Amino acid sequence: MDTDKDRAVFRTRARKALLAAVQGLVLAVVVLPCGVAFLVLTLVSIVLIPLGVGLFTTPAVLTGVRALADTRRRLAAEWCGVRIPAVYRPLPESADPWTRTVALLRDPQVRRDVLWLPVDMTAGFVTALLPAVLVFYPVEGFLLAAGLWRAYVPGSGDPYWYGFVPVTGQATALGAAALGALVLAGTWRFVPRLLTVHFTLTRAVIGASRAALAERVQVLTETRRDAVDTSAAELRRIERDLHDGAQARLVAMGMDLGTIEMLVERDPAQAKKLLAQARRNSAEALEELRDLVRGIHPPVLAERGLGDAVRALALRLPLATEVTVELPGRADAPVESAAYFAVNEVLTNAVKHSGADRVRVDVYHTDGRLRVTVTDNGRGGAAVGAGSGLAGIERRLGTFDGVLAVSSPAGGPTMVTLEIPCVLS
């Protein structure tokens, strides 16, 4: 039994060592060309910024660098269980090229990704290739002993050096095989750990700092607090609407029905009037309850999704409204709800304050983000600030790591862009 167990352990370790060697070889083959290419492209794009060309190429190149770094983070977690945190600052898609370029270059995480490139193509290349060398290099020694030495030793008799063993014939080829066996026996257990060293080095360079993580935790704490405050305010609104609206009408209807019971035989005419009043109260209470439900989660949003819900909003506006929806699927219900009420608030502001006579709404999903752009031809001057309805929208989106961008010069037009990271099902 112990022998079988030892064999199973040996096979497991051998499999892990071979897998780590293959994974390291794949990394080494990819690391060097990708690192050199992205480093050169990044430097060239930054140099071209004063000429204007770099304003368009730098965001694209840095996005590629981020994709390369994200791939390494994913492989580190999947292959070796090494978690590499990253904290990127959100960037609205609607920002102009200069704003995008400056924001990317100021992002500490982006700078860490760029500084990682030369480290990855040097020390990263070596640490990725080392597991493959320690596993496959002994194989060459075994092949030399099997007769391959004849192909390596020239007719002049000059030795072929395998490590520190000069191979000149079969006897020295057996020595090469012995050296290969020693290397393999001494290192195969440590090969998976060597691949972990590669990812640990990567984490040391591109992993988010404690300060960045602390800042991220603070942002999440604030957004959670805003979400709790928003939920509490929403509950208070629902309680107030129920108490002042539907509940009051239902109480009045109950009192009317009690009076009707007393008058139905003595004064049928008055009883009929009270019945009519009770019927009106019940219809109004039902309508108020429907409005309350729509304010919590509109049925059209639950049944048909964000696109149709926004179209339904547009139909109720007193302005000419054009809606374009390009959504290949549906987001999670909380994301759809946040986007819907944010759009509702933006459209309400446009009707009340912009002086516009036309509004355009574009809803689409790209680059892993749900984006909604609301544009009106009003007087402009909208801004996100304390006491502004847009500030409330920004807090609502912040719960989902979303961002709000406002472009509203004096004289208009006003363009409000909402972005929420999400996937569609």
pLDDT band for 403, please (50, 70, 90 cuts): confident
Least confident of 28-32, 153-157, 162-166, 193-197: 153-157
Residue written as token pair 């395998």: 162
**3-state SS, residue 94:** coil
Helices (H), 207-241: 210-241
Taking a C-beta distance cutoff of 8 angstroms, is the pair 278, 267 a contact? no
> What is the per-residue pLDDT for 62?
93
CA distances from 193 to 9, 36, 84, 197, 324 (A): 17, 26, 17, 6, 53
Mean pLDDT of 191-216: 79
* Length of the chain (residues): 425
Q: Is 315 exposed, middle or buried (0-12, 13-18, 19+ CB in 10 A)?
A: exposed
> What is the per-residue pLDDT for 399?
73
Mean pLDDT of 72-92: 85
> What is the per-residue pLDDT for 95?
67
Could you report the per-residue pLDDT of 98-109, keeping only the tens digit for each? 888 888 898 888
DSSP characters for 47-74? HTGGGTTHHHHHHHHHHHHHHHHHHHHH
Distance from C-alpha of 354 to C-alpha of 269, rounded to nearest angstrom? 52
pLDDT at 1 over 50: no
Residue written as token pair 């609205």: 92
Task: Give the angle 346-350-354 at the CA atoms, nearest 5°.
Answer: 140
DSSP characters for 163-221? TTEEE-SHHHHHHHHHHHHHHHHHHTTTHHHHHHHHHHHHHHHHSPPHHHHHHHHHHHH
Average pLDDT value for the chain: 80
pLDDT band for 71, please (50, 70, 90 cuts): very high
Total-model pTM = 0.53
Could you report the per-residue pLDDT of 273-327, keeping only the tens digit for each? 777 777 777 777 676 666 655 555 567 777 788 888 888 888 888 888 899 888 8
Could you report the per-residue pLDDT of 325-359, keeping only the tens digit for each? 888 888 888 888 888 888 888 888 888 888 888 89
